[in-house]
């Protein structure tokens, strides 16, 4: 239903503003391009409102490795937590709104996750960068930007992305699809956002009103699903549902042992599955490995994020010297193993020592900044 709002002008006269359709999808798309905060970041995460960084408008997406653009995404944004955010814009009067926009978005996401290299995203951002569109404006200091981009790549490759369907009005049929997809994809946020335009009869005023769709149900769902930051206690409580006490004990010893040795623990924000990343904090900061649980607790070695092939091989050898796990030699991947491999007296301590020895080795060789290829 169309509505109206009222403003008081400079002459203290009340002026009625009535809802109007956007002249075209490109008008709404351009408004979001220039002012991405139109998207309701405070509704997506009320505890930590999302801040937006525009990467590019009409972002090309290939259908094969190293191929040319097969499709173009309306807008690619990033938030302050390095989450790639795909935005597709349609007007409610477009009869294709429901089926086509969903098919398009899933095409874009599936192929971008597979075929977008980090350098392509960074180059697109650099092309579009301006004083008002920079990492500092979303709270990323210069010294943390390498880490930020590496996390963008890690999130993209693992499918940790956000899909936002934007329209002046989202029909119930599309809303049902959005909510179904969001419920069924545990690490992908799927969101519907309405942006309504109001204009005064005099033409002196234009106002935009944005909100997540679905009323109270959608808002409460978003708070519950997207506002969570896992903690050790929450991780253990969830993991206890499907893991034996021995695994929980090893997890506690692993987290506390690394923390006591000066490593940083960065807790994940997944909707369903808890996770954490163990980092080494220095001038350069990288995720060394991750621990997560879907059914069983697993440890994922983040080879791709942590330096040159020579130093990745050194880490592989140190981990394998513990004698409980064998890792593949593909250093551009994220091999994982069950936490049960760390059972046994002294095994957790040896695993921690392997990482301490690797940190000392990389610092001595001045190679922790991933400058070598």
Domain interval for residue 22: 4-226
Q: pLDDT at position 227, please?
A: 44
The answer to whether residues 159 and 239 belong to one domain is: no
Check if the beta carbon of residue 299 is closer than 8 Å to that of residue 335.
no
369 in a structural domain: no
The answer to whether residues 185 and 277 belong to one domain is: no
Q: Which stretches of the chain drop beneath a pLDDT of 70?
A: 1-3, 93-98, 143, 214-228, 270-272, 281-286, 305, 307, 329-330, 332, 366-373
The answer to whether residues 200 and 110 belong to one domain is: yes
Q: pLDDT at position 95, please?
A: 55
The answer to whether residues 213 and 248 belong to one domain is: no
Write phi, then psi, for 192 (nearest 5 degrees). Answer: -110, 135
Q: pLDDT at position 270, please?
A: 66
373 in a structural domain: no
Q: pLDDT at position 97, please?
A: 54
Query: Minimal CA–CA distance to 73: which of 87, 63, 93, 52?
Result: 87
CA distances from 298 to 272, 314, 328 (A): 15, 22, 16
290 in a structural domain: yes
> How many angstroms separate the CA atoms of 306 and 284, rounded?
10
The mean of the pLDDT values for the chain is: 84
Task: Note the pLDDT tens digit of each residue in 41-76.
Answer: 988 888 778 999 999 999 999 999 888 889 999 999
Taking the alpha carbons at both ends of the chain, their separation in whole angstroms is 58
Q: pLDDT at position 33, please?
A: 93
Q: pLDDT at position 215, please?
A: 41
Boundary (domain end) residue, out of 226, 243, 276: 226
Q: pLDDT at position 277, please?
A: 87
358 in a structural domain: yes
Is beta strand 162-167 parallel, antiparallel or unpaired with respect to 84-89?
Answer: parallel
The answer to whether residues 128 and 43 belong to one domain is: yes
> With a threshold of 0.85, does the pTM exceed it?
no
**Domain tally, the chain:** 2
372 in a structural domain: no
């Amino acid at each position: 239903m169309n509505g109206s709002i009222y403003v008081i002008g400079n002459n203290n006269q009340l002026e009625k503003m009535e809802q109007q359709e956007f002249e075209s999808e490109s008008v709404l798309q351009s408004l979001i391009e220039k002012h991405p905060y139109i998207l309701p970041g405070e509704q997506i995460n009320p505890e930590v409102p999302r801040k937006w960084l525009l990467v590019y408008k009409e972002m090309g997406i290939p259908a094969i490795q190293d191929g040319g653009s097969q499709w173009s995404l309306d807008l690619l944004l990033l938030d302050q937590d390095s989450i790639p955010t795909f935005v597709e814009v349609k007007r409610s009067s477009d009869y294709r709104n429901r089926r086509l926009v969903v098919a398009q978005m899933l095409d874009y996401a599936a192929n971008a996750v597979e075929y977008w290299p980090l350098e392509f995203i960074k180059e697109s951002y650099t092309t579009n960068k301006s004083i008002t569109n920079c990492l500092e404006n979303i709270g990323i200091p210069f010294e943390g930007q390498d880490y930020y981009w590496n996390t963008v790549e890690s999130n993209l490759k693992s499918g940790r992305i956000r899909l936002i369907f934007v329209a002046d009005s989202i029909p119930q049929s599309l809303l049902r699809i959005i909510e179904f997809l969001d419920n069924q994809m545990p690490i992908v946020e799927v969101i519907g956002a309405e942006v309504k335009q109001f204009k005064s009869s005099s033409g002196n005023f234009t106002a935009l009103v944005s909100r997540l769709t679905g009323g109270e149900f959608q808002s409460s769902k978003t708070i519950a699903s997207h506002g969570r930051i896992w903690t050790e206690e929450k991780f253990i409580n969830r993991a206890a549902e499907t893991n034996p006490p021995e695994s929980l004990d090893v997890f506690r010893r692993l987290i506390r042992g690394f923390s006591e040795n000066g490593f940083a623990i960065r807790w994940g924000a997944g909707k369903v599955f808890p996770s954490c990343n163990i980092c080494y904090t220095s001038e350069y900061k990288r995720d060394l490995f991750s621990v997560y649980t879907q059914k069983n607790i697993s440890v994922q070695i983040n080879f791709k994020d942590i330096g040159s092939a020579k130093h990745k091989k050194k880490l592989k050898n140190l981990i394998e010297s513990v004698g409980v796990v064998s890792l593949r030699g593909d250093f551009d991947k994220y091999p994982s193993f069950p936490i049960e491999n760390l059972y046994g007296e002294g095994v957790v301590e040896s695993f921690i020592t392997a990482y301490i020895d690797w940190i000392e080795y990389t610092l001595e060789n001045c190679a922790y900044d991933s400058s070598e290829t």
